[in-house]
Structure 1
Amino acid sequence: AARRLRGGGGGSVRGTLFCTNLRVAFVPGAQVSGGPACSFAKPKVLTAASSLKFIPEELAVHCRDFRLLRFHFHESGLQPQAFRVAMAIAQAREAATWPGHAGPTPLFESLHDWEKELKRQGAVGWRVSAVNERFDMATSLPRYLWVPGRLLDKDLKRAFAHFEERRVPRLCWHHPGGSDLLRTAGFHAASEPQREDVRCLEALLRGGHGQCVLVAPGELPSLAELQLSYGKLRALCLPDSPVPDDKWLSALEGTRWLDHVRACVRKASEVASLLAARRCSVVLQEPHDRDFNCLLASLAQLLADPHARTLPGFQSLVQREWVAAGHPFARRLGLGRPSPRDEVRAGGTGCG
């Protein structure tokens, strides 16, 4: 049993707090008009190595979306079992139900999910290839890929070796006007394609169109710049930020976060305009196809596809362009120990 404290002297809400190593869920019960004030003057940060000589009476959870949730345990303090679990919490997430959501979110782990989405987009001339079903062609790509219908799998296999991390060009989204959005990694430095390989690469990049436009995220910030900017933004938005209110907007501008957001949206708008203006193949090409390609492909679809702006469509978009596409969430969020190669790539990889 716990009470969630409201800010501004708004009392508290009685309920039950459930803690796991993945999320925190508070289920409210009877509402209480008044509640105890915060009793600890020097809060202690809980880590995996924390050792306390007392059972805490209150728990403050700083969420990734900058919310601060405070819970008071007024009877016997936080039970030892709950305390041990709380120290292992990696992130906090509200349990929510979304009205109007029809059916589960497709995970794009089955052939059916890919075929259903391809049919919804009306992408004539494309098919679902199971060439990577056992991840033996590219470990970071999904099992199934959207490729030109006339390209056989035996020819498709010739293309993998010519791209970084073997991440070949494949369809992301089909524009109703006839254009196609593709994404791919950069060409491998040691690539020496033969004549048949060149024919296969042209078929992949053109996607049945006579014109192919390559889009590289050259003017976007590097991953290191984004991480630095986000750290400043997060510190600025926390409740204990030392920045006074009259200087908050200038401090926000100093983080450069809005500049980075503006640059990404502008680039995605250019991609969406290319897709709408002419029937062509627009190919997003990033050195490793794991970060900005995910972002630009998602933003372009949000701008041009009304379905992507619905809750089911957005969930499907994130699953397809980020999760199934192999974005390294753990490394980017600092949840694992990166290898020296990953550190160099994250710290020094620009987008030029």
Structure 2
Amino acid sequence: MEFSELIRTGRAQAQLLRGPEAPPLRGTLCVTGHHLLLSPGPQSTPDLWLLLLRNVDSIEKRVAGDSGTITLRCKDLRVLQLEIEGVEATLDIARSIEALSSLESVITSFPFFYRPKGLRLGDAWHFHPPERYYKRVARETDAWRLSEVNEDFSLCPSYPRAVIVPRAVDDDALARSARFRQGGRFPVLSYSHSPSGTVLLRSSQPLTGPQKRRCAEDEELLRAVLAGARPGARGFILDTRSAQAAKQARMTGGGTEAKAAYPGWKRLHRPLERGRPLQESFVRLVEACGDPEQSMDRWLSRLEGCRWLAHVKEALSTACLAAQAMEREGACILVHGAEGTDSTLLVTSLAQLILDPMSRTMAGFQELIEREWIQAGHPFQLRCAHSAFSHARPKHEAPTFLLFLDCVWQLGRQFPLSLEFGEGLLLALFEHAYASPFGTFLCNSEKERCLCEVRTRTHSLWSGLNQPKEQRKLQNPLYVLNPLAIWPSVEPQSLRLWQGLFLRWTHPPEPAEVAWEKVWQIVTGKEETEASQPTASA
């Protein structure tokens, strides 16, 4: 299929309305295979307005007289309005955008055609977390090893080729444990906390079923975890489902670890919403944020009713529970829900940010996302197919990664000196997860990325974000290395709506945000001045 077959009208005269804070643009509108372009013409500004079609979440069209209007609601939460000359041109352009913005083939997406100046294919794709992180673990303990039991992805299609596992457990035992876990996701190391000698693991649910099946190798694996920790260590299995949901899962083949079969491990249930309830909460929040006419009482009622901040609280509370058990009780933690690809990763990644100062650096945070989300098999292609405006609501869509970013923003707001990166990086990650010219968030697993040759045929997002000019916009100028754990408050008065994301297209920044931007300019301006001064010779 050629892109040209889906383009009914290539160009038309149009005016673009971009929101209350931006002036309208008038010029020639063009539709290409991947972009919508508006060239204002030499009489106004030479700048070209560009929109990646993959960013379009929903389209509404209206015609009246001899013109029409197309409203584009984008995945980054922008709402754009195009006023187009000609009824036929309006309808043809709308149909073209609808077709091109919803292409399902990965290899026809824009990252496979994107070739920016200054970047080479293959740059930053060497960012391979299992091997890199294993070297860090190996310096602290010899209880773990790097296994390539999943080299061909046959054991677990959603795991990477290499995983970190207890040294005392051989690959045959890992294979049997994988067959006992949903999707083959047997327990693997997520994080080693050297100060307490404890570890954080993740997996999927065991397939005990109504007959309460057991797996000796799976039990051996978790015994080896405790044996490799400090003497007398105990473990907690943190199940992100309710006890009732876990019991119901047993009726369909899933289940939980039996207490008698896993001595030393205690199960805790901390239910976190996922799937459709989380998506509906996101949709209701965006709808509330997009209504400028409502009263303050109505706004507060809708904010509470959507329960988004309740999800933020529950996620941070569960991560704090895992981190406290490791830091203060010296316990090992295994986190899982059902599949182990959503709320599990939310908890393990947040717990590391709380405990590990390296994860709070720019490079460490990028590595955390690679290791705990991308390599760990979060299905970005499924979860981020649509944002908050789409009329289609498939059950596999959910803003779990956005919830993670919101929790990180809350951490940064409560500990403004402890994160090396700022809000700019979090906003960029949100945008790129839903629509990106880079290949980092493509597909649902490392296996799929290998089949599509993503690493050799697309650019890595990290190579783009780590350019010096980008780093200045993403870094926190007030950052000071904090070697201690950071314990966030989850009280209602401590959690705030992330206005920089949910209100950035409709409301001007608050005075506090303006003040923060001024601090950033002062600090970076001082650095530039010092850097420009000649250095005295010795």
Aligned position for 2:244: none
Q: Distance in 1 between matches of 2:357 and 2:272?
A: 28
Structure 1, unmatched stretches of 5+, are 34-44, 98-102, 344-352
Percent of aligned positions that are identical: 32
Aligned position for 2:340: 289
Q: Distance in 1 between matches of 2:303 and 2:372?
A: 29
Aligned position for 1:124: 141
Change (3 A) 1:203 1:307: same
Structure 1 position 252, deviation (Å) = 0.4
Aligned position for 2:436: none
Write the letter of the residue equivalent to 1:226: L
User: Does the CA contact (< 8 Å) of 1:179 and 1:278 recur in 2?
Assistant: no
User: Does the CA contact (< 8 Å) of 2:19 and 2:79 recur in 1?
Assistant: no
CA deviation profile, 1:115-165 (whole Å, cap 9, x unmatched): 112224555322221101111112222222111233322332232122222
* 1:250 and 2:262 matched: no
Change (3 A) 1:304 1:107: farther
Choose which of 231, 236, 242 in structure 2 pairs with 1:213.
236
Aligned position for 2:202: 183
Structure 1 position 69, deviation (Å) = 3.5
The structure with more helix, counted as a fraction of residues: 2
Q: Distance in 1 between matches of 2:81 and 2:361?
A: 32
Question: What is the correspondence of 1:4-15 to structure 2 with a 5 Å cutoff?
Answer: 5-8=17-20, 10-12=22-24
Question: What is the correspondence of 1:301-340 to structure 2 with a 5 Å cutoff?
Answer: 301-333=352-384
Give aligned pairs, total. Answer: 315
Structure 1 position 324, deviation (Å) = 2.1
Structure 1 position 205, deviation (Å) = 6.3
User: Does the CA contact (< 8 Å) of 2:62 and 2:70 recur in 1?
Assistant: no
Structure 1 position 52, deviation (Å) = 8.1
User: Does the CA contact (< 8 Å) of 2:146 and 2:164 recur in 1?
Assistant: yes
Q: Distance in 2 between matches of 1:11 and 1:89?
A: 26
User: Does the CA contact (< 8 Å) of 1:17 and 1:24 recur in 2?
Assistant: yes
CA deviation profile, 1:144-192 (whole Å, cap 9, x unmatched): 2111233322332232122222211001112241321111122211533
Structure 1 position 328, deviation (Å) = 3.1
Aligned position for 2:326: 275
CA deviation profile, 1:294-327 (whole Å, cap 9, x unmatched): 1111211222223333444333322322222222
* Secondary structure of 1:230 counterpart: helix
Aligned position for 2:278: 226
Structure 2, unmatched stretches of 5+, are 1-12, 46-57, 104-109, 117-121, 241-268, 387-391, 398-538
Aligned position for 2:407: none
Structure 1 position 263, deviation (Å) = 1.1
Write the letter of the residue equivalent to 1:46: I
Structure 1 position 256, deviation (Å) = 1.4
Q: Distance in 2 between matches of 1:332 and 1:291?
A: 9
Structure 1 position 84, deviation (Å) = 5.4
Structure 1 position 27, deviation (Å) = 9.4
User: Does the CA contact (< 8 Å) of 2:272 and 2:343 recur in 1?
Assistant: no
Choose which of 122, 127, 139 in structure 1 pairs with 2:157.
139
Aligned position for 1:61: 72
Aligned position for 1:153: 171
Question: What is the correspondence of 1:40-59 to structure 2 with a 5 Å cutoff?
Answer: 46=59
Q: Distance in 1 between matches of 2:282 and 2:324?
A: 28
Change (3 A) 1:207 1:142: farther
TM-score (norm 1): 0.70
User: Does the CA contact (< 8 Å) of 1:168 and 1:184 recur in 2?
Assistant: yes
TM-score (norm 2): 0.48
* More deviation, 6-15/242-251: 6-15
User: Does the CA contact (< 8 Å) of 1:14 and 1:28 recur in 2?
Assistant: yes
Aligned position for 1:168: 186
CA deviation profile, 1:82-139 (whole Å, cap 9, x unmatched): 7555223259x9x9x9xxxxx955576xxx5421122245553222211011111122
CA deviation profile, 1:197-229 (whole Å, cap 9, x unmatched): 643442256654432222222343432432332
Write the letter of the residue equivalent to 1:323: I
Structure 1 position 230, deviation (Å) = 1.8
Change (3 A) 1:9 1:146: closer
* 1:89 and 2:112 matched: no
* Secondary structure of 1:159 counterpart: helix
Q: Distance in 2 between matches of 1:307 and 1:17?
A: 46
User: Does the CA contact (< 8 Å) of 1:13 and 1:30 recur in 2?
Assistant: no
CA deviation profile, 1:58-78 (whole Å, cap 9, x unmatched): 654322332224456789x97
CA deviation profile, 1:275-305 (whole Å, cap 9, x unmatched): 2224442111222212110111121122222
User: Does the CA contact (< 8 Å) of 2:182 and 2:205 recur in 1?
Assistant: yes
Q: Distance in 1 between matches of 2:223 and 2:43?
A: 65
Aligned position for 2:351: 300
Change (3 A) 1:183 1:54: farther
Q: Distance in 2 between matches of 1:199 and 1:26?
A: 62
